[in-house]
Structure 1
């Protein structure tokens, strides 16, 4: 039993460490709807995996990556606002996934686990994948931290200074897609964006620099995972929603503790 709990907590903490700084960019760049779009595409990946008997981990990673790259391409072509493109891709991916699920006769899918996560069901093999992908994302963020800050503050000035704006933006979208793919097991499709946004939003109220906000966001995300897992263990509640409830409570606490400007 202890080994099961330790594996679950390790997987949750690996995701939380990366969700913190990545969530900061989601908040700064107002990309919350982008997170929802990739989460819906992950559900399409699950449906494709079952329908065509493909590897589940592979499809739930490749489909969000494809959607992220498609968004970059559509954004480059112009003509439609970003929120409109996100709305089209989000609802299209979700509808396609539901249509495929409806065609799966005699196949049982644990929709609750997909929608709200099943942290305690993480295996040692899945833990290795989660930690490996989280390490890659964290390394990418550390490498591109300054260019990411520059294009967030002023993309036009960053381009003049020689920053490859489109490449850096694409890397951020790919990193977000990878995080969503591994976080699905932790909090599920419906709550992935909450894990990205809530700790970062709480950290914003406690920080004065981008670096402080990233550290605080990671710390709060880790506390959310630990607190949510403990709540689920003792109160027999779903782990994913419990993590988000704790994150929301920390946000309220951070808001209450913030000194007036």
Structure 2
């Protein structure tokens, strides 16, 4: 018989995996892995500001991640620096400012390791409600912009000609990413969010025949990673968040084996 906290962790992890699967596909298609890192690193600044101003952790993290997204789009329009340089500046600046703020708040005892690597076993019923409620909203918005975002991933010029407004769609997608980071921070932590976004989507790409199939498969592989990682963590007494990501890596490696056999024959 599994403990209640383990069942809550399973339910929360499955809900998160279902949400990040389709978003992760666009991260892979649009080559935005570094943007995912930037969102994740900005989360620590959101955590620090949440404690400083005594507001909800998810609101603080979402607010900072959304602000970073808007700042990135503004700086991109100036074309003074390439996007990868801007992402590097924003990512490391937000992370450093967050760490400095945490250091200044000496009156607080903050479990930095918990925020960096997550603690899925500590999720509450309220956290689960937030994950599923926020997840449904994120997926609903993604469904509305799916066609425009997919077209822009292929060619922004073509999407512009078709009247799909790629810039607006890109901004909405970035805000959805900020929402996922805010939801995921307690489960897999700041440093592992990008891995959960990218690895299941990369695994799904091997088997997908259409973008929609890839999105569904990415969620399925994410769910498998959560379930396998949590049970491995229970069996071998390893950290839960990293165990989930390790399981995702194992699935990715296994997905490559048939292709290697095919080439060798």
2: CA distance, partners of 1:255 / 1:241? 21
Q: Which position in structure 2 is the counterpart of 1:142?
A: 143
2: CA distance, partners of 1:78 / 1:45? 27
Question: C-alpha displacement at 1:10, in angstroms?
Answer: 1.2
1: CA distance, partners of 2:240 / 2:205? 25
Post-superposition, which runs of at least 4 consecutive aligned residues in structure 1 deviate over 2 A?
Answer: 51-55, 76-79, 257-261
Question: C-alpha displacement at 1:77, in angstroms?
Answer: 2.6
1: CA distance, partners of 2:160 / 2:183? 32
Q: Which position in structure 2 is the counterpart of 1:160?
A: 161
Question: C-alpha displacement at 1:53, in angstroms?
Answer: 2.5
Question: C-alpha displacement at 1:210, in angstroms?
Answer: 1.0
Is 72-81 or 153-162 further displaced after alignment? Answer: 72-81
Q: Which position in structure 2 is the counterpart of 1:151?
A: 152
Specify the SS of the correspondent of 1:144: helix
Specify the SS of the correspondent of 1:208: coil
* 1:59-78 → structure 2 map (5 Å cutoff): 59-78=60-79
2: CA distance, partners of 1:205 / 1:29? 17
Question: C-alpha displacement at 1:6, in angstroms?
Answer: 1.9
Q: Which position in structure 2 is the counterpart of 1:42?
A: 43
Q: Which position in structure 1 is the counterpart of 2:88?
A: 87
2: CA distance, partners of 1:38 / 1:163? 25
Query: Normalized against structure 2, the TM-score is what?
Result: 0.95
Q: Which position in structure 2 is the counterpart of 1:129?
A: 130
Is 244-253 or 56-65 further displaced after alignment? Answer: 56-65
Provide Cα deviations, 1:100-147, integer angstroms capped at 9, x if missing partner: 011011321111211111001001111111111111111111111111
1: CA distance, partners of 2:143 / 2:58? 25
User: 5+ residue gaps in structure 2?
Assistant: none
Q: Which position in structure 2 is the counterpart of 1:188?
A: 189
Provide Cα deviations, 1:145-168, integer angstroms capped at 9, x if missing partner: 111110000110110111111110
Aligned residues: 261
User: 5+ residue gaps in structure 1?
Assistant: none
CA RMSD of aligned residues (A): 1.3
2: CA distance, partners of 1:60 / 1:233? 29
Is 139-148 or 194-203 further displaced after alignment? Answer: 139-148
Provide Cα deviations, 1:201-249, integer angstroms capped at 9, x if missing partner: 1111111221121111110000001111111112111110000000000
2: CA distance, partners of 1:65 / 1:233? 35
1:110 corresponds to 2:108: no
Q: Which position in structure 1 is the counterpart of 2:177?
A: 176
Query: Normalized against structure 1, the TM-score is what?
Result: 0.96
1: CA distance, partners of 2:150 / 2:262? 26
1: CA distance, partners of 2:36 / 2:128? 23
Question: C-alpha displacement at 1:52, in angstroms?
Answer: 2.8
Specify the SS of the correspondent of 1:54: coil
Is 250-259 or 123-132 further displaced after alignment? Answer: 250-259
